[in-house]
Amino acid sequence: MKITIIGAGNMGGAIAQGLAKGRLVDVADITISDSSELRLQELQKEYPLMQVARDNQDAIREADIIILAVKPWLVKPVLETLSFHPGQILASIAAGVTFEQLVEAVGDAEMTMFRLVPNTAISQMESMTLIASRNATTEEEQFFVELFGEMGTAMLIQESQIAATTALTSCGIAYVLKYIQAAMQAGVEMGIYPKDAQKMVAQSVKGAAALLLNNEETHPSIEIDKVTTPGGITIKGINELEHAGFSSAIIRAMKASR
């Protein structure tokens, strides 16, 4: 299985690194194409067997899967310069670019396509990646789930759900980081060094996530109940969050990000 990534920016580079660390694709079968020679050199220095290219058409010539990792406004001009051969699969991570727009740019309504929504934690092999497909077989869908599952967790969704789920995952990671930042500021005000506060809060967030991810029978309300002793300090803090509109602010932020 040969994979070409067009675009070596933050996300394209992170996907290339993640694929190289996985077991499903040989590093020598990964090609990344970009106009920046420096970025390509950095990736090849880290993974000497990875193929690099400056010409997109040359890069995709033998590829089974082409992952388009460019900005949304570059999707059409990049795709219009490429010629695909039968059997190649196109996967795009460009936010807001629909299958219909991809088909229009490619000029092939029968081509198998995927839309991918990873988040920046893919660089740490901890992404929540959403996957929608067009003209794909069940086997092809499963391969993509396994491929991106090696870089965190991957889930199949309908294209109609992409806007809402992007708010929860791709945008949502920023809201989690905002909570961590705010909690750190509180810690500093209470006399904790910033780096210590960051470690404490980040590990607490990681632990909270593990409680939910490792036990399908639980729920945030159940886990909150476990640490809110009647008359205790945690319930006082929870109530302060609600008085300040914490839940409402999160809901409004998610809905605004669609």
What is the per-residue DSSP string for 216-252? TT--HHHHHHHH--TTSHHHHHHHHHHHTTHHHHHHH
205 pLDDT tier (thresholds 50, 70, 90)? very high
Assigned superfamily of 3-159: NAD(P)-binding Rossmann-like Domain (3.40.50.720)
| Dihedral pair phi/psi, residue 14, rounded to 5° | -65, -40
Q: Are 224 and 237 in contact (CB under 8 A)?
A: no
75 pLDDT tier (thresholds 50, 70, 90)? very high
User: How far is the C-alpha of 250 from the C-alpha of 258, rounded, in Å?
Assistant: 13
Same fold, 3-159 and 172-256: no
Query: What is residue 47's predicted lDDT score, i.e. its pLDDT?
Result: 93
Percent of the chain beyond pLDDT 70?
A: 100
Query: Averaged over 249-253, what is the pLDDT?
Result: 97
User: Would you say residue 201 has pLDDT above 90?
Assistant: yes
Alpha helices (H) along 64-193: 72-79, 99-106, 138-149, 162-169, 172-189
The Cβ of residue 131 has, within 10 Å, a number of other Cβ atoms equal to 22
Count Cβ neighbours within 10 Å for each residue of 18-47 and write b for 16 or more, e otherwise: bbbebeebeeebbbbbbeeeebbeebeeeb
Query: What is residue 214's predicted lDDT score, i.e. its pLDDT?
Result: 96
Domain boundaries, the chain: 3-159, 172-256
Average pLDDT, the chain: 96
Query: What is residue 238's predicted lDDT score, i.e. its pLDDT?
Result: 97
CATH of domain 172-256: 1.10.3730.10
- Which has the higher per-residue pLDDT, 258 or 6? 6
